[in-house]
Amino acid sequence: MHQIKTLGFIGVGIMGEPICRHLAQKSKMKILAADKQFAALERLSKFGVLTSTITEIANESDIIFMSLPSGEIVEDVVFGETGLLNTMRSDKIVVDLSTSRAQTAKKVGAALMTRGIYFADAPVMRTRAAAESGTLGIPVGCNIDVFNRIEKFLKMFGSDIMHCGEIGSGQIAKILNNMVLYETVLALSEASAIARSAGVDVAKIFNAMSEGSADSFALRNHGIKAILPQNFPEKAFPVNYARKDIQYAVDLASEFHINATGAKNLLNTFDEAIEQGYGELYAPAISLLFEKNRQS
């Protein structure tokens, strides 16, 4: 592999913008970025990031990072007529920070390898706040040589970088992480509504949980910071995105004939939340369903 001089970044949305900013500030390299939303690109320009196109990024970048809303969009960027597969030269690296199906990662990785292009699936975990602070968790799927090449860049925006195995394993780790996380958020939403209905201070209930065996990242971040104050801002990780990740988990379980009843129930809850108009709100907004039923 040749020397790395230029980085490309495709998708500077909720998570991509702060990640790209960290790369610009810490790598000191030339960075080209592309997105349909020009406001984020304008903000990033203050840190030296150059607004570009996917074709230009493919031609000029040694490593390309993608941070996109879904696996379907990842495929469009890679396999489209002017996509990466048709425009990149060999001996470069594509790192997908998006959350996709494991099969999508394997498909993309295999296709790129036919052109001599290396690939890693490295979906980011934790919150927008973690992206802002550069403390994301990042499970990575790729061969060890590629991992060794990209690790120093991942450490520029992540504090816990984990090589999970071959291509696809990073996505499986992320998908199952979100499955467990949001099943816990669902349980916290139910607990909150039950406590309020029983006339008990939810803050005290959550505090008791934090000192007991129900303590968790979900409790401290989603429960106490969102469900307790009923604060679900837009431009955070929304219900729509979380629903997509849980669909991937259910599909993965079905592939191996596992009846993931908890994940299926969660998927139904997300669907109901979207029907009620909560799709763009921060994902713990599923608790609004239980609050609404409690009051009706």
* Section 224-241 average pLDDT: 93
pLDDT for 45 equals 97
Cβ within 8 Å of residue 214, ≥6 positions away: none
* pLDDT per position as a tens digit, 41-82: 999 999 999 999 999 999 999 999 999 999 999 999 999 988
* Section 112-129 average pLDDT: 95
What is the reported pTM? 0.93
pLDDT for 202 equals 97
Q: Is the pLDDT of residue 212 over 70?
A: yes
Alpha carbon distance 51, 17 (integer Å) = 13
Alpha carbon distance 150, 159 (integer Å) = 14
* pLDDT per position as a tens digit, 143-200: 999 999 999 999 999 999 999 999 999 999 999 999 999 999 999 999 999 999 999 9
Residue pair 161/74 in contact (Cβ under 8 Å)? The answer is no
Q: Is the pLDDT of residue 1 over 60?
A: no
DSSP β-ladder status, 93-96 and 118-121? parallel
Percent of the chain past pLDDT 70, that is, above it, reads 98
Domains in the chain with CATH codes: 6-166 (3.40.50.720), 172-295 (1.10.1040.10)
Alpha carbon distance 91, 159 (integer Å) = 27
Of residues 293 and 250, which shows the higher confidence score?
250
Q: Is the pLDDT of residue 223 over 70?
A: yes
